[in-house]
Amino acid sequence: MALHLYNTASRQKEEFVPRDPANVGMYVCGPTVYDTAHIGNARPVIIFDVLARLLRLQYGDAHVNYVRNITDVEDKIIAAAEANGESIEALTTRTTKAYHEDMAEMGALPPNREPKATEHIVGMVEMIGVLMEKGHAYEAEGHVLFDVTSMADYGKLSGRNRDDMIAGARVEIAPYKKDPADFVLWKPSADDIPGWDSPWGRGRPGWHIECSVMSRAELGDTFDIHGGGRDLIFPHHENEVAQSCCANGDGTFARYWVHNGFLTVEGDKMSKSLGNFRTVRELLAEAPGEALRLNMLSAHYRQPLDWTSDGVKQSKTNLDKLYTSLQSLSDVEADESQVAKSVLDALEDDINTPKALAALYALSSAANKETNLVERSKIKGKLLSGGNLLGLLQQDPKEWFQGAEEGDVTADQIEALILERVEAKTNKNYARSDEIRDSLKDQGIVLEDSPQGTTWKRV
């Protein structure tokens, strides 16, 4: 089947037909770099990484441009830098680096382009100027505001009527606004906070204009896919549509709007006050990134996902099973001509990752039963290609089971103890042999004896 995506704009699943198959463009709202990423921030990164992998498979690496921005000027950044007593540059550099590391640990490939808001201020000033010229924006008390009454379609993406918008908690009521739903394009900066010269005085951009300008700079006035979490539909994406369509004079902007659902932790909305706020970094100390990734993909992206420690444990077990099958296939080379059609079909159906994982587990079961070498080689090819689409099974199985973390007993130490145990057994010193087994077990190393000898793995 062809790729189908649920389009928030039309509220239905549609076949994905790019404007130009040689230039497929996708823009995803990236992080505001003021704090380390929490697990909710990782959900769109992993979902859109799977979609990017799928697009690259279908259209070719060179024909897909996946853009994810960095918001490095925003009021939360200014507040956090002040609270931490560090410079804005130090804060944004540090958190951007941590973000890259965390997302890489979860198997997310870098986007093709990663523009920073501060590199696009000139474009923002220019777009705001055009909006003013065309009568879509006005200046008031050093601010420039978008006039929502100037756009007949305003509210169409989110399906909100005016009363909903005004009641929306994120709409800031301010005396200088003509209409309570008008939103800020440019705001004045005091001398001690970041600011750039503009026709409206020294100031800084509003958050929404950043994405309209960066997406246009990287992908043009109209492009294929715009993604993000569903909490961004209103006001952020609604306002991006308003700015871009009014400034560019084209009623299209993004053609497919793809939004992922919310994430809760152990049944509750994640919040610092509830004590269930989980950063990716903390979770990575408890489980491998690949297990976190599999856990993230275990729910369909449009459904809410409840993140639980039981779920992570189950995901680790499921991944162990997949790697066990892969390890058992070490007698054959993967037939690389084999694409896992069952995995591909599931993903083409609106990125149905639970179904794709089920298909991967089915391949794993088949591997465990198959004895014919040609068939085993085909299954291995499918397991690896299906895993690759999901960003899973990216390690050598031996590395998966034996890979050490800092401070762990090393492979050499384990091998030496296994030899000592063999010697102890030969000398009928069963107390010592059991002692070695137990002490390794305490350190998370399980020994498996077989007629061919002893193998080990970390659990």
Give the distance from CA 185 to its chain's centroid.
27
Q: At its nearest, how many Å lie between Zn ion and the CB of residue 208?
A: 7
Beta bridge partners of 67: 27, 113
The answer to whether residues 7 and 17 touch, using CB atoms and an 8 Å cutoff, is: no
Instruction: Give the other-Cβ count within 10 Å of 412's Cβ.
Output: 8
Cβ nearer to Zn ion, comparing 213 with 326:
213
Cβ nearer to Zn ion, comparing 69 with 318:
69
Candidates 25-33, 85-93, 286-294, 392-400 — which segment interacts with Zn ion by CB under 5 A?
Answer: 25-33
Candidates 28-36, 297-305, 429-437, 448-456 — which segment interacts with Zn ion by CB under 5 A?
Answer: 28-36
Q: At its nearest, how many Å lie between Zn ion and the CB of residue 193?
A: 22
Q: At its nearest, how many Å lie between Zn ion and the CB of residue 253?
A: 12
Cβ nearer to Zn ion, comparing 20 with 231:
231
Interaction residues for Zn ion, span 374-393 (CB under 5 A): none
Cβ nearer to Zn ion, comparing 128 with 211:
211
Cβ nearer to Zn ion, comparing 32 with 353:
32
**CA–CA separation, 311 and 296 (whole Å):** 9
Interaction residues for Zn ion, span 297-356 (CB under 5 A): none
Q: At its nearest, how many Å lie between Zn ion and the CB of residue 257?
A: 12
Closest to 363 in 3D by CA, of 314, 352, 344, 53: 344
Candidates 29-37, 88-96, 242-250, 383-391 — which segment interacts with Zn ion by CB under 5 A?
Answer: 29-37
3-state DSSP helix/strand/coil % of the chain, to nearest 5: 50, 15, 35
Q: At its nearest, how many Å lie between Zn ion and the CB of residue 69?
A: 7
Cβ nearer to Zn ion, comparing 29 with 297:
29
Q: At its nearest, how many Å lie between Zn ion and the CB of residue 90?
A: 24
Tell me how far CA of residue 57 lies from CA of 4, 16, 317, 357, 392, in angstroms. Answer: 15, 14, 28, 18, 16
Candidates 24-32, 45-53, 315-323, 379-387 — which segment interacts with Zn ion by CB under 5 A?
Answer: 24-32
**Residue 263, CA atoms < 13 Å, CB-side half-sphere:** 28
The answer to whether residues 158 and 234 touch, using CB atoms and an 8 Å cutoff, is: yes
**Cα torsion at 230, 233, 235, 241 (round to 10°)?**
150
Candidates 22-30, 36-44, 160-168, 191-199 — which segment interacts with Zn ion by CB under 5 A?
Answer: 22-30
Cβ nearer to Zn ion, comparing 206 with 289:
206
The answer to whether residues 227 and 261 touch, using CB atoms and an 8 Å cutoff, is: no
Annotate 357-397 with DSSP letters as a single string.
HHHHHHHHHHHHH---HHHHHHHHHHHHHHHHHHT---S-H
Q: At its nearest, how many Å lie between Zn ion and the CB of residue 157?
A: 13
Task: Quote the tokens at residue 275.
Answer: 């004590």
Among 3, 5, 29, 45, binds Zn ion (CB under 5 A): 29
282 phi/psi in degrees, rounded to 5: -65, -45
Candidates 26-34, 160-168, 247-255, 310-318 — which segment interacts with Zn ion by CB under 5 A?
Answer: 26-34
Cα 249–Cα 148–Cα 230 angle in degrees, nearest 5: 90
Interaction residues for Zn ion, span 175-234 (CB under 5 A): 211
Cβ nearer to Zn ion, comparing 32 with 95:
32
Residue 92: exposure state from Cβ atoms within 10 A (0-12, 13-18, ≥19) = buried
Interaction residues for Zn ion, span 237-296 (CB under 5 A): none
Cβ nearer to Zn ion, comparing 211 with 296:
211
Q: At its nearest, how many Å lie between Zn ion and the CB of residue 44?
A: 11
Q: At its nearest, how many Å lie between Zn ion and the CB of residue 227?
A: 10
The answer to whether residues 297 and 260 touch, using CB atoms and an 8 Å cutoff, is: no
Candidates 21-29, 140-148, 270-278, 322-330 — which segment interacts with Zn ion by CB under 5 A?
Answer: 21-29
Q: At its nearest, how many Å lie between Zn ion and the CB of residue 29?
A: 3
Say whether residue 157 binds Zn ion (CB under 5 A).
no
The SS3 call for residue 290 is: helix
State the Rg of the chain over Cα.
26
Cβ nearer to Zn ion, comparing 262 with 456:
262
Q: At its nearest, how many Å lie between Zn ion and the CB of residue 242?
A: 13
Cβ nearer to Zn ion, comparing 29 with 258:
29
The answer to whether residues 283 and 311 touch, using CB atoms and an 8 Å cutoff, is: no
Cβ nearer to Zn ion, comparing 29 with 254:
29
The answer to whether residues 199 and 93 touch, using CB atoms and an 8 Å cutoff, is: no
Q: At its nearest, how many Å lie between Zn ion and the CB of residue 399?
A: 37
Query: How many positions of this chain bind Zn ion (CB under 5 A)?
Result: 2
Interface residues with Zn ion (CB under 5 A) are 29, 211
